[in-house]
Amino acid sequence: MTWLQTIVLAIVEGLTEFLPISSTGHMIIASSFMGIEQDKFVKLFEVCIQLGAILAVVVLYWRKFFDFTKWTFYLKLIVAFIPAAICGLLFSKQIDRLLESPVTVACSFIIGGIVLLFIDRVFTRFTVEKVEGISYRRAFLIGCFQVIAMIPGVSRSAATIIGGLQQKLTRNLAAEFSFFLAVPTMFAATAKKLLDFKQEGYQFQGNELPQLLVGNLIAFVVALIAIKSFIQYLQKHSFRAFGAYRILAGLVILGLIWAGMIK
């Protein structure tokens, strides 16, 4: 993987990680479009680079993350994290196979886009405005929605935001809780991926380690901007634009696959 490809993937990750449009799906398509061979390092890079974007959440919401007087906040994140942790351990091989399928991404884009077109009409009553109002039951159910995002193209952000709306969280709170839940989820995914590669005896070669570090830094900076912009957008607009984008992107991807431009 070249340095230019590294930078492109890092920017894609930072822009899309917290938007309901699937960062994994976009990286799969970007990698395929640029002809990046899916070797061991690329597979590691596409997971671990999300750590940089996740750190942007910790920086932006540091007061909440490091307020140890509110220990129930951490318990709720753990409860919400449990479903994805269990399914990730049980079905890791199946998930890895799906990560190599642009067709799966395209179909997930379209289906998710249709859902987002109508989501604002389905959920109109919101009673939970603060994190303190999220019960353990609500946290667990939102975590169950996160499991759906293991299918490439679904979008972890979209799934957990929809889960939050279904549990009567306001749009802003649903988005913020989605950000918070991303922290333990992606830390665990990154740690597991690194551990798996270490057990396989994999060692970084050439520029791979510098590329991974620079990629995380770029993703971190871009994610800072994306998160702020997304929250400001939700205060005035609905999810329909994201739904329309996903459907259009899905159709374009299917067209590129049919034309042989994406393998």
The closest of 73, 8, 98 to 45, measured between CA atoms, is: 8
Q: How far is CA 75 from CA 144, 149, 191, in A?
A: 16, 22, 20
Residue 115 CB coordination number (10 Å): 18
Which pLDDT score, from 0 to 100, does residue 98 have?
67
Which pLDDT score, from 0 to 100, does residue 210 have?
94
The helix/strand/coil state of 239 is coil
The domain locations on the chain are 3-258
Which pLDDT score, from 0 to 100, does residue 40 have?
82
The mean pLDDT values, 10 residues at a time, for the chain of 263 residues are 94 93 86 84 87 91 84 93 89 71 89 93 88 94 93 90 94 92 89 81 86 95 94 89 95 89 74
Distance CA 62, CA 188 (A): 19
Residue 10 CB burial class (10 angstroms; 0-12, 13-18, ≥19): buried
Which pLDDT score, from 0 to 100, does residue 100 have?
67
Which pLDDT score, from 0 to 100, does residue 174 have?
94
